[in-house]
Structure 1
Amino acid sequence: MTLLNRLKTDVLTADGAMGTLLYSYGIDFCYEELNTEKPEIIEKIHKDYIDAGADIIQTNTYGANSIKLARYGMENRTNELNKAAVEIAKKAAAPGGQFVLGTIGGIRGIRKSSATMNDILSSVREQAESLLAGNPDGLLLETYYDFEELSSSIQLLREMSDVPVIAQVSMHEPGVLQNGLSLNEALHRLEGIGADIVGVNCRLGPYHTIQAFEDVTLPEKAFLSAYPNASLLDVEDGRIVYESEADYFGRAAVHLRNEGVRLIGGCCGTTPKHIEAAKKRLAGLPPLTEKNVKIKKPIVIQEASPMTDVSICEKAKTERTVIVELDTPKTLLTEKFIEGAKKLYDAGVDAVTMADNSLASPRVSNMAMGATLKMKHDVRSLVHITCRDRNLIGLQSHLMGLDSLGLHDVLAITGDPTKVGDFPGATSVYDVSSLELIQLIKQLNEGISFSGKPLKKKANFSVAAAFNPNVRVLDRAVKRMEKKIECGADYFITQPVFTKEKIIEVHEATKHLPTPVFIGIMPLTTMRNAEFLHNEVPGIKLSDETLERMRACGDDKESSAKEGVQIAKELLDTAAELFNGLYIITPFLRHDMSTELIHYINELDAQKESGALHDYSSN
């Protein structure tokens, strides 16, 4: 009898965790390599679950795809390791006739990973071909946080084979996927694209898994599955542990059956004892054929608080828009910073931008300074957010705080590594890159948290992204801009540019983009400053003429600053003709230099209105 026929009449018990047992044995290398190096260990675990009463076992292939195997330099062994895994599982199951599922694990989490969807599907195809060659009773897709990845994988497998497909999502929050889709809607969509069994596994323990299924209606054709963790995880002496009595897991299995689940196994932390308890508790219980689900009132998500001013992005699409960067201080003396920000704003800038601990050096919080400038002086701030200093918890909390303070203009950047800053031994977090951060911020704009949970109100962020034009191959940098636009970037702010030729090159390379670009101009202060930028900052090169002009000023700081401003004005002559968006980067809190450049921009615009300037963009 086939797996699907058995599920029509019976509630079946699957096996539990493979990795948990291998971890308990002290094995800390690639688990899938054991399929060929120590097959007797994998076979014993299969037999232990079968002896515990499992009707179904899965192959030791969760990470046996080319993308994950590449971490160990074994991407070329995909076929070998998957075929060996099926052989081991079938050998263990042969005496009792248990069903064998070929397992394929998800790749994306909140972070999309560097693999493209084409890469992922190519990997799925390769692994599935190897598993199918062993004639398993079905394919199990498990631990998928990204709904797009799971949906695309099912569609691919349906093209390849008619073998039963079990599709299991993973949730950060009970009843909702990380993209905000309800579990009920997700499972019915998976059924619609060809999955024969749909359900959940991992991340949540029995309590929250049961809770999630309370709102799930029975599929029309597919069956429901659940592989919860033994419990929520804990850490003891640096090791991951799960606290859960086996009988508790068995009782939970009955509750899952009462919610309509027909295939019940275990994920992280579960052992043969957990499966044995589930088997005993489920014995003699027929599957649920009817279920009444109480319809809950949908959570109302309020619209975002309206912005009082036109967004920086929208303004830059049609008219001159100027933003100025002013670093927050490294000390607790904030008066000079606040004074400078007020003067810049009074000079006519659209926003004062503040870096987020630039060069990995601690400064006064840009959130605190942004709030101070807004509430006390009505100065608009554009706050930078780096992925370096905060994990996902901190990032979401920080963004929710910004929204609550009415600071809606943000720049999402990955951030310099800590080793370049004042604390080289500090940890660089990087839970996500700037691309994922942009997506997550836009998810907040839909009223959905990073985990998929409703926030009851939409945020209202306008998201800028960084662009470094000072690279050898500009086309590659522009391709990355296009990816950021796909993720939701509203406009771009560039690193400083120091030659007219580069400004024109950037314009030509980006003029096809639908998003505004703010070209960065930073006045030089001294020859030492110029030489540092030219010789030590990656990607930045000053012209011989510029270096010579700064060198001619010698050690005269006043003369050097004056020449630096003059060079910046000459760059603005070109930039102001080609870009509506101008980004002035203030060096060393010298807001007087930036103020002079702002006045110069105003003069250029006045001359342009009178027709006195040549229009480069018409060339």
Structure 2
Amino acid sequence: MKIREYIKDKPLIFDGAMGTYYSEQQEGKCELANINNREHIIEIHRKYIAAGCVAIKTNTFAANTISLEKDLELVKRVIAAGAQNAIQATDGREIFIFGDMGPIPYAGEGASPLCEYKEIVDVFIENGIKNFLFETLGSDEYLSELSQYIKNKNKDSFIITQFAVTPDGFTRIGLSGKNIVKRVEEIEEIDAIGFNCVSGAHHLYEYIKQFKTVQKYISIMPNAGYPTVRNNRTIFENSSDYFAETLYKMAQLGVNILGGCCGTTPEYMRKTVDLMTGFKKPRRIEYKKQEIEENAETDKENGLIKKIGLGQKIIAVELDPPSKAEIAGFMEGAKRLKYNGVDAITIADCPLARARVDSSLLACKLKRELDITPIPHMTCRDRNINATKALLLGLSIEGVENVLVVTGDPVPSPMRDEIKTIFNFNSAILAKHISELNETVFDAPFGISGALNVNSRNFDSQLKHAQKKIDNGVSMLFTQPILTEEAFENLKRAREVLSAKLFGGIIPIVSHRNACFMNNEISGIKVSQEIINRYEGKTREESSELAVQISTDIAEKISNYVDGYYIITPFNRVEIVEKIVKKIKSL
């Protein structure tokens, strides 16, 4: 019988979690056990089948080169063995087998897992697997290409896609589950869509009740519940009766495909199958449109964006946050800049991966006490999506309207044994998360800024990445300092091809030594030899005057190609920036 015929009459019940069930009995990565301990894997498959499951997943969730840290040839062996183990476990019975693929972890800028996914699909097909489950996904990227690739190989394949969302409906990289469903519904080759992992049965039940009509088959595979840690092992409390009852309620809503994720043992699935006995013809999900209370208040207008819209040239100045809990100097500098007509102050987020006063807390203080527009930098380093969302909620409450998203500097090599660098996403993904929160959470949407490196050797790549940021919601781009003719030409190109507002980067050079250091030691900054030569033999006072003159000349040169200026304060020397601001305003 084909799957589409089967689910006309009753829900398709999948197995539970191979990974957590295996880890209760054995150590090591369960996918490698396809080769090293295959009899045990086959036995687990058989236990789920004996529990009444009519569909099983191959033991290949993390079978990729990044997760297993193995070469592609070994990964292919693991997948082939996983397929054969699942087939052998059926003992010739009519059980639907799905090639199981989880997300291939982020491997850095420019890396694409699409080719490896296709290689994995080919191995499954070569070993007799025609149905596929993409599960625990954080985004819908690549799904259109992959599903087309599969259906071109076998038009009868059944493809399920499942996303892991928190109880508030966002994936680990901050994408809205509801928006993902809308996009995936447009992909003709995908047969079913749904959610698994991260959330327990109750939260996924409550979440899917919020959906209006969904045209594709619905697949839900929740966790057993929420885990606890005992003796360094992750344990899911036994709530199999509650789990089964909640899945039954999902079937009543119209969920066509049901199964289990982390912590769900054969017992969970046996009780689910028992409750489903006699259940017939689940309806498609159809909900009445929820009435939305009209908000009497219109969306607040972002002050900075309003100024730009009125044709004003914005001046934003970056102040480095203090490295100690001494704030007087920083606040005095910000006060002086406001007095001189600066429109916004940007605050770096632990630059060079060294701890400084938190940029978001400083932004709130500036807004409260000086009523100046702050733009805190928000890095992707050392902050997961939950912490990021919590921070944005706090900023919104404090009236901070703008953020500048950057990937962030890695921890310097000598410190890596003591301080671990964590990157859960990049700047483009973070921008997308904030953009989706703007649509779903914030009454006053954030203005999202990004960075543009006009000093990059491969500026075509920079433009491509900048366009991705713009596609993900970035409306303003702050450039690196423009201190060469090449950087100026790149700025002109950016103005021609990018739709975002551009803030031209200006950094006053305060000495010959400073110029040489920036040119040779600071990533993303280039100083022309002509400028370096102009500082030779100059005193401190003469260098300061030259810094003002060169910065003003650069501001005038780039004026026709920018919507504002981004001045970076050198060594907290606010007095130099004050003079530059006055000169720019007099142009």
Give the TM-score taking structure 1 as reference length.
Answer: 0.82
SS, match of residue 567 in structure 2: strand
Distance 1:517 1:218 in 2: 42
Q: Structure 1 regions of 5+ residues with no counterpart?
A: 449-454, 606-619
1:270 maps to which of 264, 267, 270? 264
> Is structure 2 residue 548 aligned with structure 1 residue 569?
no
Match of residue 581 from structure 2 = 598
2:522 maps to which of 518, 530, 537? 537
Distance 1:590 1:49 in 2: 69
Match of residue 38 from structure 2 = 39
> Is structure 2 residue 68 aligned with structure 1 residue 74?
no
Against the structure 1 CA distance between its residues 176 and 541, is the aligned structure 2 distance closer, same or farther, given a 3 Å change threshold?
closer
8 Å CA contact 1:20, 1:269 repeated in 2? yes
Amino acid of the structure 1 residue aligned with 2:99: G
Against the structure 1 CA distance between its residues 272 and 114, is the aligned structure 2 distance closer, same or farther, given a 3 Å change threshold?
farther
Task: Describe how 1:342-491 pairs up with structure 2 within 5 A.
Answer: 342-419=335-412, 425-446=418-439, 448=440, 455=441, 457-491=442-476
Against the structure 1 CA distance between its residues 598 and 200, is the aligned structure 2 distance closer, same or farther, given a 3 Å change threshold?
closer
Match of residue 6 from structure 1 = 6
Against the structure 1 CA distance between its residues 172 and 313, is the aligned structure 2 distance closer, same or farther, given a 3 Å change threshold?
farther
Distance 2:186 2:488 in 1: 53
Against the structure 1 CA distance between its residues 43 and 243, is the aligned structure 2 distance closer, same or farther, given a 3 Å change threshold?
same
Against the structure 1 CA distance between its residues 586 and 602, is the aligned structure 2 distance closer, same or farther, given a 3 Å change threshold?
same
Deviations 1:487-518, CA, capped at 9 Å, x for gaps: 22212112223334532443245533222322
2:229 maps to which of 235, 240, 257? 235
Distance 2:579 2:69 in 1: 56
8 Å CA contact 2:165, 2:177 repeated in 1? no
Q: How far does residue 148 in structure 1 lie from its aligned partner after superposition?
A: 5.4
8 Å CA contact 2:213, 2:285 repeated in 1? no
Amino acid of the structure 1 residue aligned with 2:229: V
Tell me how many residue pairs correspond in the alignment: 582
8 Å CA contact 1:253, 1:281 repeated in 2? no
Distance 1:404 1:499 in 2: 41
Amino acid of the structure 2 residue aligned with 1:353: T
Match of residue 331 from structure 2 = 338
Distance 1:564 1:496 in 2: 13
8 Å CA contact 1:103, 1:139 repeated in 2? yes
Amino acid of the structure 2 residue aligned with 1:557: R
SS, match of residue 15 in structure 1: coil
8 Å CA contact 1:164, 1:195 repeated in 2? no
SS, match of residue 62 in structure 2: coil
Match of residue 614 from structure 1 = none
Of stretches 376-385 and 483-492 in structure 1, the one that deviates more from structure 2 is 376-385
Q: How far does residue 552 in structure 1 lie from its aligned partner after superposition?
A: 0.1
Task: Describe how 1:273-312 pairs up with structure 2 within 5 A.
Answer: 273-282=267-276, 284-289=277-282, 295=288, 297-300=290-293, 302=295, 303-308=298-303, 310-311=305-306
Match of residue 205 from structure 1 = 200
8 Å CA contact 1:150, 1:167 repeated in 2? no
Match of residue 616 from structure 1 = none
Distance 1:570 1:198 in 2: 57
Q: How far does residue 586 in structure 1 lie from its aligned partner after superposition?
A: 1.2
Larger radius of gyration: 1
Q: Structure 2 regions of 5+ residues with no counterpart?
A: none
Distance 1:468 1:294 in 2: 48
Q: How far does residue 437 in structure 1 lie from its aligned partner after superposition?
A: 1.2
Distance 1:311 1:216 in 2: 35
Match of residue 608 from structure 1 = none
Against the structure 1 CA distance between its residues 589 and 312, is the aligned structure 2 distance closer, same or farther, given a 3 Å change threshold?
farther
1:105 maps to which of 83, 99, 102? 102
Distance 2:280 2:183 in 1: 19
SS, match of residue 524 in structure 1: coil
SS, match of residue 234 in structure 2: strand
Task: Describe how 1:125-204 pairs up with structure 2 within 5 A.
Answer: 125-136=118-129, 138-147=131-140, 149-150=142-143, 153-174=146-167, 176=169, 178=171, 179-180=175-176, 182=178, 186=181, 190=185, 193-204=188-199
RMSD: 3.5
Q: How far does residue 269 in structure 1 lie from its aligned partner after superposition?
A: 1.0
SS, match of residue 460 in structure 2: helix
Q: How far does residue 410 in structure 1 lie from its aligned partner after superposition?
A: 1.9
Against the structure 1 CA distance between its residues 595 and 193, is the aligned structure 2 distance closer, same or farther, given a 3 Å change threshold?
same
Distance 2:565 2:368 in 1: 26
Amino acid of the structure 1 residue aligned with 2:453: N
SS, match of residue 167 in structure 1: strand
Match of residue 515 from structure 1 = 500
Match of residue 18 from structure 2 = 18
Against the structure 1 CA distance between its residues 347 and 422, is the aligned structure 2 distance closer, same or farther, given a 3 Å change threshold?
farther
